[in-house]
């Protein structure tokens, strides 16, 4: 999974990526998966996701950093970054990444239909 996010994580100023299910539960976190004893300091992302409704993307700017939230096929992707990170590069790489996330699912597509 880490290889999928390599291009986004290589952008100057990007600190990490969190994948959430549609219910707001953490599916993957680059910080937690890179450290053996790391623990999540957040638990209920659903409080943030419900007010967004059907928004496709959102950007949250804080005093010391930003969050870029992007809706995926099965949930949401959150990119944590510094203020100086190029949001245009992050959005471009997320656009490239989203179809790859969808293809990692369990669907067989046409391969299962034509299989003998």
Q: What is the pLDDT of residue 24?
A: 82
Q: What is the pLDDT of residues 85-100, one digit of tens each?
A: 999 999 999 999 888 8
Of residues 64 and 111, the one with the higher pLDDT is: 64
| Mean pLDDT of the region 5-21 | 91
Structural domains of the chain sorted by starting position, each given as residue range(s) with its CATH number in brackets = 6-114 (3.30.450.30)
Burial class from Cβ neighbours inside 10 Å (0-12, 13-18, 19+) for residue 19 reads buried
pLDDT tens digits, one per residue of 35-81: 544 555 666 787 788 888 888 999 999 999 999 999 998 889 999 99
In the structure encoding, which two tokens stand for residue 51, read together?
Answer: 């007010």
Q: What is the pLDDT of residue 3?
A: 82
Which helix (H) or strand (E) is 6 found in, with range?
A: helix 6-9
């Amino acid at each position: 999974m880490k290889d999928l996010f390599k291009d986004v994580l290589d952008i100057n100023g990007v600190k990490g990526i969190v994948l959430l299910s549609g219910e707001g539960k953490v599916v993957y976190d680059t910080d937690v998966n890179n450290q053996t004893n790391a623990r999540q300091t957040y638990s209920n992302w659903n409080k943030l996701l419900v007010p967004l409704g059907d928004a496709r993307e959102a950007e949250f700017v804080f005093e010391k950093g930003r969050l870029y939230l992007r809706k995926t096929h099965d949930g949401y992707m959150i990119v944590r970054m510094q203020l100086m990170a190029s949001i245009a590069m992050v959005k471009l790489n997320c656009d490239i990444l989203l179809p790859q996330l969808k293809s990692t699912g369990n669907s067989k597509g046409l391969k299962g239909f034509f299989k003998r």
